[in-house]
């Protein structure tokens, strides 16, 4: 039961870990008409999980949970190399660093130690590795860690859509329910030892890069 209580703390939207600053390209997608309705939002959420988080971030998260610190650095640099787009890489590092900084301020020794590593190692600090550091130190199971990481993606899209005025709060809950129902079979399959990380979300990747050129924007990505 203790693990689940710890997990709920991370899932609490009021817990300040920096995630609310990023829309993962949704702001640009909405402006360009690719996420202008509830149905389109669901499609973007499903794409982000099925073709980016599940085959890429999830694989790195699960592997980093079971590796010692030095080997996590190697994985972190792999995330840097395999993430397309400068802005996407920067957003992932900023989100990861924000999570580490929050837990370092709360006195989590592992977060303090890895934050120091990140500061000394260019290209490190990506979100899935930072999540592995924090979730592992907090004693979360692999399953809870995966669930939290996936929820951060889905919840981030839904809350960003509300802030952008694409949908209302009820629409966000409906979108989450629909996306989860479609993704549930995928999420039930555990990460295998021989899974090779990959990602293919060109619509999202282009939107994140274009977002950096916007004159006025609500989100950092």
- Locate 59 and state its tokens: 């694989």
Mean pLDDT of 64-84: 93
pTM score > 0.75 for this model?
yes
Q: How many residues does the chain have?
A: 221
Enumerate residues 6+ apart whose C-beta is below 8 A from 78. Answer: 60, 197
158-196 pLDDT, tens per residue?
A: 999 999 999 999 999 999 999 999 999 999 999 999 999
More confident residue, 210 or 117: 117
Whether residue 23 has pLDDT greater than 90: no
In contact, 6 and 140? CB cutoff 8 Å: yes
111-124 pLDDT, tens per residue?
A: 999 999 999 999 99
55 pLDDT tier (thresholds 50, 70, 90): very high
Report DSSP letters for 40-100, one per residue: HHHHHHHHHIIIIIIIIIHHHHHHHHTS-HHHHHHHHHHHHHHS-SHHHHHHHHHHHHHHH
Rounded CA-CA distance 109/70 in Å is: 16
CA distances to 4, 71, 119, 125, 126 from 78, in Å? 30, 11, 17, 11, 10
More confident residue, 6 or 148: 148
Cα-flanking dihedrals φ and ψ of residue 33, to 5°?
Answer: 85, 15
22 pLDDT tier (thresholds 50, 70, 90): confident
Which stretch of DSSP H or E encloses residue 113?
helix 109-120
């Amino acid at each position: 039961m203790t693990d689940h209580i710890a997990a709920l703390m991370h899932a609490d939207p009021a817990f300040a870990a920096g995630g609310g600053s990023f829309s993962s390209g949704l702001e640009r997608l909405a402006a360009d008409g690719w996420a202008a309705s509830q149905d389109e939002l669901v499609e973007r959420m499903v794409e982000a999980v099925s073709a980016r988080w599940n085959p890429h971030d999830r694989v790195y998260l699960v592997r980093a949970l079971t590796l010692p610190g030095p080997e996590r650095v190697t994985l972190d640099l792999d995330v840097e190399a395999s993430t397309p787009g400068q802005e996407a890489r920067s957003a992932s590092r900023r989100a990861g660093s924000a999570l580490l900084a929050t837990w370092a301020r709360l006195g989590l020794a592992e977060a303090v130690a890895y934050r120091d590593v990140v500061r000394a190692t260019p290209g490190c600090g990506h979100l899935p590795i930072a999540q592995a550091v924090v979730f592992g130190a907090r004693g979360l199971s692999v399953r809870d860690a995966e669930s939290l990481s996936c929820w951060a993606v889905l919840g981030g899209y839904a809350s960003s859509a509300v802030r952008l005025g694409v949908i209302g709060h009820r629409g966000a809950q409906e979108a989450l329910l629909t996306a989860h129902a479609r993704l549930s079979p995928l999420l039930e399959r555990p990460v295998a030892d021989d899974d090779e990380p990959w990602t293919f979300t060109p619509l999202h990747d282009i939107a994140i890069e274009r977002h950096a050129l916007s004159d006025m924007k609500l989100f950092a990505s």
